[in-house]
Amino acid sequence: MATLFIVSTPIGNLGDLSPRAADTLRAVDRILAEDTRRTRVLADHAGSTRPLVSLHAHNEAERVERVLEWLGAGEDLALVSDAGTPLVSDPGARLVRAVVDAGHTVVPVPGPSAALAALVASGLPSHGFTFLGFPERKGRERTRLLQRVAGAEETVILFESPQRLVRLLEDLADACGPHRQVSVAREVTKLHEEFVRGTLEEACGYYRQHPPRGEVSLVVGPAEDGASPGVDLEEEARVLARELLEEGRKASVVAREVARRLALPRNTAYRIVHEISDA
């Protein structure tokens, strides 16, 4: 049976291409690439002259049958993304599932990963972690993700564009509290590699003053004691909220004040205030 190789590629430094990955790119019959222009540079570096075929988020579904035909004819193929490990916040999952279902061999060629590189250099716990990729820009799914990070018992890894980094840090500070630990990894393995480590509040302040460029990964530390705000803190928030509401302040104002004074996630403060208001 023919083989589909899932080949991890450098996330910035071409020197990170493994000898096995280079050998694979030279040996296969075709290379399936997210962006053929970027992969041409990599293929040239590896000494591969194999034809490149585009496979990206917008054409993956229609490429599946053609890929299965090539494999059925005995051709070995390599799947690469623009950078890092394919399928990790990149296209390819539909293709690999179809190849597995068709009975062909799928072989990973491990290598660079932006998520793992950010994690191991973060200084945050790495014995257990969750990778959540790129957050939704708005809506219920974004709120769910923020709540999930807020209560996470393990380290959480996220990707974000540089243009939306400050907003994500602000939203995480609201959800998790400003003192949650974070490490922001930027341009990892490249010339301007940077790690900013500290609290969410500190990272927000830094990137407001220094607008980021390039590829960004966030590593958010687990909630203290592996949980969301504790029962005692929530009870303190209820007492404070009642006092402020009795002064005649609006619920939205009270929620912001409770969150500020007790360093609570804003969504937790809003929930507590509305529970009291609706009782």
Q: How far is Cα 265 from Cα 201, in angstroms, rounded to an integer?
A: 12
**End-to-end C-alpha distance for the chain, whole angstroms:** 66
130, 21, 145, 37: which is closest to 86 by C-alpha?
21
Q: How far is Cα 33 from Cα 86, in angstroms, rounded to an integer?
A: 10
Angle at 30 between CA 29 and CA 36, to 5 degrees: 155
Q: Give pTM, 2 decimals.
A: 0.78
pLDDT at 1: 79
Judge: domain 3-112, CATH 3.40.50.1970: no
> Over the range 93-107, which residues count as b (16 or more CB within 10 Å of their CB) and which as e?
eebbebbeeeebeee
CA-CA-CA-CA torsion for 145, 233, 200, 171, nearest 10 degrees? 40
Contacts of 184 (CB under 8 A, 6+ apart): 165, 169, 194, 195, 196, 197, 203, 207, 212, 216, 217, 218, 219
Q: How far is Cα 123 from Cα 133, in angstroms, rounded to an integer?
A: 20
Handedness of CA 65, 87, 40, 7 (dihedral sign): negative
CB 239 within 8 A of CB 233: no
Grouped pLDDT means (10 residues each) for the chain, 279 residues? 96 96 98 96 97 95 95 98 94 96 97 97 95 92 90 94 97 92 97 96 96 96 64 77 90 88 78 84
Judge: domain 115-226, CATH 3.30.10.20: no
